[in-house]
Amino acid sequence: MVVAGGGPTGLMLAGELALAGVDVAIVERRSSQDLIGSRAGGLHARTIEIFDQRGIADRFLSQGQVAQVAGFAWIRLDISDFPTRHNYGLALWQNQIERILAGWVGELGVPIYRGRDVRGFAQDDAGVDIEISDGESLRAHYLVGCDGGRSLIRKAAGIEFPGWDPTTSHLIAEVELAEEPEWGLRRDALGIHSLSRVEDGPVRVMVTEQRLGRTGEPTLRDLSEALVAVYGTDYGIHSPTWISRFTDTTRQAAAYRDGRVLLAGDAAHVHYPVGGQGLNTGVQDAANLG
């Protein structure tokens, strides 16, 4: 079995398949494990339970901060009276979650072909030929697209990705500030904005944009303008380590399977990431599929 994409979904799925005795390999575009940007900030109780069933929950719990993280519409829900050993969530950044998963997958002997892209595939009754970027190809009984929201596997399989267009757009970034900002969450007519510090590191900014429909890579200037529109100042932002834009677009694949090609994680469904559960549902997808 070949898994395209070694994000949280692909890593979890490969681990599950290896435990089930399936010969599996991952093809991952990134040449290093390190993720640029912090992305997901933690695990929900159900995800921790699944890791517990695999005997690896402690690896995550020892690195993160246990907290009540469940919520709805920005209202915190306390689940400490739920009948589970893990009646809490865990604050832990996605790059650490992926590093721990990659360590587990490595112990299970799963090869990860890093720095290589899946370029396309052709399936027949007995298997799938998978073309990868170094000119080589792999033959497998099944191919699983765990290659994220812009999934090449989904597109090449001709699977539609219907959903809702965005109603709001946010910029998110890690930057340095010359001035002390207004820390924490601010809500106004435009939406939700926040400024927080990542441990001793950079400042994490999230700001709702005034206009929808901007395309292209967001710049420091876009971020400065968005901050000025909300706070009246950009606090002297400089030295961004990354800047990204996300919207509340919600989409779900019309089918999770076409013959010997399957989809999981963001390749199959994307939804609003703020306080969202993309990583968590990806891991849960992978556990179900495995």
Contacts with ligand FAD by CB under 6 A lie at: 4-10, 27-30, 39-41, 94, 117-118, 146-148, 152, 172, 244, 246, 265-266, 273, 276-280, 282
- In the complex with ligand FAD, which residue's Cβ is closer, 21 or 215? 215
Tokens of 146: 């765990």
- In the complex with ligand FAD, which residue's Cβ is closer, 152 or 253? 152
For the bound state, the minimum distance from the C-beta of residue 273 to ligand FAD, rounded and expressed in Å, comes to 4
- In the complex with ligand FAD, which residue's Cβ is closer, 30 or 233? 30
* Torsion of Cα atoms, 24 then 25 then 27 then 31, to 10°: 140
For the bound state, the minimum distance from the C-beta of residue 279 to ligand FAD, rounded and expressed in Å, comes to 4
For the bound state, the minimum distance from the C-beta of residue 26 to ligand FAD, rounded and expressed in Å, comes to 8
Helix (H) or strand (E) holding 42: strand 42-43
Nearest-CA neighbor of 4 among 101, 105, 132? 132
CB distance 9 to 284 below 8 Å: no
- In the complex with ligand FAD, which residue's Cβ is closer, 120 or 236? 120
* Torsion of Cα atoms, 266 then 267 then 269 then 270, to 10°: 50
CA diameter of the chain: 63
For the bound state, the minimum distance from the C-beta of residue 207 to ligand FAD, rounded and expressed in Å, comes to 13
3-state SS class at 148: coil
Helix (H) or strand (E) holding 270: strand 269-270
For the bound state, the minimum distance from the C-beta of residue 286 to ligand FAD, rounded and expressed in Å, comes to 8
For the bound state, the minimum distance from the C-beta of residue 42 to ligand FAD, rounded and expressed in Å, comes to 6
- In the complex with ligand FAD, which residue's Cβ is closer, 72 or 189? 72
CB distance 111 to 146 below 8 Å: no
Rounded (to 5) percent helix, strand, coil in the chain: 25, 30, 45
- In the complex with ligand FAD, which residue's Cβ is closer, 260 or 281? 281
Alpha carbon distance 252, 48 (integer Å): 25
For residue 236, count other CB atoms closer than 10 A to its CB: 12
For the bound state, the minimum distance from the C-beta of residue 233 to ligand FAD, rounded and expressed in Å, comes to 24
- In the complex with ligand FAD, which residue's Cβ is closer, 15 or 282? 282
For residue 40, count other CB atoms closer than 10 A to its CB: 20
